[in-house]
Amino acid sequence: MTWKSIGIFDSGVGGLTVLRELMQVLPQEDTIYLGDTARVPYGTKSPETVTRYAEEIASFLFRRDIKLLVVACNTASAVALPALKRLLPIPVVGVIEPGARRAVEVTRSGRIGVIGTTGTIRSSAYTRAIKRLKPDAEVLTRACPLFVPLAEEGWTDNQVARLTAETYLKELQLAQVDTLVLGCTHYPLLKPIIGEIMGKEVTLVDSAHETALTVADILSRNSQLRPASEEGNHTNYVTDIPAGFVRIGTRFLGGKLGDVFQVVLDEGEEGL
C-alpha cells in the first residue's frame, strides 16, 4: 500500500515551526514542505497577492499527490484559506482556527491578545475566529512586523529583541490580557522574551501544536493515517536558492532538515 504525503507551505522558513510539531505528533507521516523563499515576506503584501501566491503553491503541491494541505503561514491562512478550500478537493487546514480554539480554552478572563504580521492583524481573522467560539471575548491585537527579521537573524535574546518586544507589547500588557496568541510562524522563537515581558500570569498560545492535532484528527477520521510503526520522510522545496533556507531552517525546525530542492512553481501546467 502506498501512502500519500501531507503537503505544508509557508512564505519561507517560518512554517518549519509548524512542521516540527507535525513531525512530533505524526512521526510516521511523509511530508512535502514548500517555502516560497523567492517571494517572502507575505506579511507586508496585499490579500490579493498573498491569495494568488497561495493558490499557485496549493496547485503545485496537489500535483504531487498530497492527501491534506497545511497552510502553516498565518498570513496566508488569514487571507487565503477560503480560496484554497474552494480550489482543492482535499482537506485544507490553516493555523488560525486551531490557535483561536486553544486561546478560548485557556483564557480565564476572556481578554485575549493576538500578535501577528501586518497582513494577519489587518485581516481580523483571529478576532473573528475567537469571537465565533466565544462571542463575549475581548480581543486586542497588535502587528509586530520586526519580530520576523529578528527571529531569522537569531536575535531572540538580546537588547534589540527586548526593546522591540517591550515597545510592541506595552499596550497588551497594560490592557491585562491573560492569554496571548503568537499569530505568526516566527514568534515561537521569541517565546522566552515575550513570556518574560508579559509575565507568568499570561498564557502564550502557539498555533503549531494545535494545528498538528487537528491534522491528526482529520487523517484519523478519514482512515488516512499511516501505521505508527512507519517512519516519515521529509522533502523540502524552495523557490529561491536553498542556501539561506538550509542555514536558518535547522534552527526553526529544531533538528536536521531533509533534502531541499529549488523549484519553479508554474512549470507551464494548466490549473490543478
Task: List residues near ligand DGL by CB under 6 A.
Answer: 10-12, 14, 40-43, 73-75, 117, 120, 148, 184-186
96 contact partners, CB below 8 Å, separation of at least 6 = 74, 77, 78, 81, 125, 126, 129, 183, 207
E strands in the chain:
5-10, 31-35, 66-71, 92-94, 111-116, 138-143, 179-183, 203-206, 234-238, 259-262
What is the nearest approach in angstroms of ligand DGL to the Cβ of residue 107?
Answer: 22
Residue number with CB closer to ligand DGL (74 or 179): 74
The residue number with the shortest CB distance to ligand DGL is: 43
Instruction: Give the residue numbers annotated as catalytic, written as ranges.
Output: 73, 184
Q: Shortest Cβ distance from residue 41 to ligand DGL (Å)? A: 3
Host H or E run for residue 193:
helix 191-198
Smallest distance from the beta carbon of 135 to ligand DGL, in angstroms? 26
**Which residue number, 155 or 226, has a Cβ lying nearer to ligand DGL?**
155
Candidates 89, 136, 145, 156; CA nearest to 115 is 145
Q: Using the minimum distance from each CB to ligand DGL, give the nearer residue, 114 or 225.
A: 114
Query: Which is closer to ligand DGL, CB of 90 or CB of 151?
Result: 151
The least CB distance from residue 270 to ligand DGL, in Å, is 28
